[in-house]
Structure 1
Amino acid sequence: MAGFGPHNPPAIHMDPALVKWNQMTVNRHKYFRWTPRTAWITFAYVIVVPAMLGTAGYMTDGKWDMRGKRRGDLISEF
């Protein structure tokens, strides 16, 4: 018979602000709206950031070789 109930109150009182914050995060999907700001943030994280990382990786692919280098050797291949 664990848990809270009329005969087993919590040992400490819950902070109302934390309870409200918890309920807000649990129910966030119910109150989400697409606005220009949320659309731009979604676009940036889904399209722009991966495109930039992919471009940077493609441009530097094979440019540096770290294997078998000694002190004074150049790591750039071209």
Structure 2
Amino acid sequence: MAGLPHNKMAMDPALVRLGNMVQNRYKYFRWTKRTTGITFMYVAVIPAIIGYLGYQTDGLWDLRVKRRGDIISER
């Protein structure tokens, strides 16, 4: 039992094709209107929205942890 090879498995052809597609994706990529829009959204629009929300809510809430000796009420 100890000397038998246990790693013999039939590879699923769909998983092999998926792996090859992922490895070679850069060879087939094209800038189209759709990919340009998606890239612009992830690179510029979403970080701008998160930054705007961060600046608008900066200091709005006191998120400090209560420590020993602190009173429970915020006032």
| TM-score interval for Structure 1 and Structure 2 normalised by the shorter chain | 0.7 to 0.9
Report sequence identity in percent: 53
Match of 2:10 in 1: 13
TM-score, normalisation: structure 1: 0.71
Match of 1:41 in 2: 38
1:28-60 superposed Cα distances (whole Å, 9 cap, x missing partner): 011001111111110000000100000000011
Structure 1 unmatched ranges of 5 or more: 1-9
TM-score, normalisation: structure 2: 0.73
Structure 2 unmatched ranges of 5 or more: 1-6, 65-69
Q: Cα RMSD between the aligned structures?
A: 1.9
If asked which structure has higher relative contact order (CA below 8 Å, sep 6+), I would say 1
Match of 1:22 among 13, 19, 22: 19
Match of 2:72 in 1: 70
Q: Structure 1: how far apart are the matches of 2:17 and 2:10?
A: 14
Partner SS state of residue 20, structure 2: helix
Partner SS state of residue 70, structure 1: coil
